[in-house]
Amino acid sequence: MLHALVVTLTCVVAILLIIVVLMQSSKGGGLAGAFGAAGATQILGVRRTADFLSKATTVLAALFMALCVVAEFTTGSSSGESGESVIQKNAPKQSAPVSPVLPQSSPEQK
């Protein structure tokens, strides 16, 4: 339950981070004008909008990284902690190692 909550929060933060990054204006104008950030620029001013978006990007990126670490620690193994990887668990069990059979050459063929 906790893991599902953390993953959901991580997805929400990731979407917000994408939106904030796209709203930042680049040297060429960026997508800020297309999404109506020009109105925010008129209200807050160019400098305040850039500072707010820069700080929001930093905070969201740090929050995203922290949530990813928390999600890793809240991940539970359904079959218990056995120390085996998924590949090792699904591999066929063999009793003894099988060595390849090489073709035998006769001395007459030389």
Residue 41: its pLDDT value, please?
53
Residue 50: its pLDDT value, please?
74
Q: Tell me: the pLDDT tens digits for 63-110?
A: 999 999 999 888 865 545 566 777 777 777 767 667 778 788 776 655
> Where do the structural domains in the chain lie, given as residue ranges?
40-76
The C-alpha atoms of residue 20 and residue 18 are separated, in whole angstroms, by: 6
Q: How far is CA 17 from CA 25, 30, 59, in A?
A: 15, 16, 9
Could you tell me which residues come within 8 angstroms of residue 38 by beta carbon, excluding any fewer than 6 positions away?
32
Residue 79: its pLDDT value, please?
47
Q: Tell me: the pLDDT tens digits for 66-77?
A: 999 999 888 865
Predicted TM-score (pTM) of the model is: 0.54
The C-alpha atoms of residue 55 and residue 51 are separated, in whole angstroms, by: 6
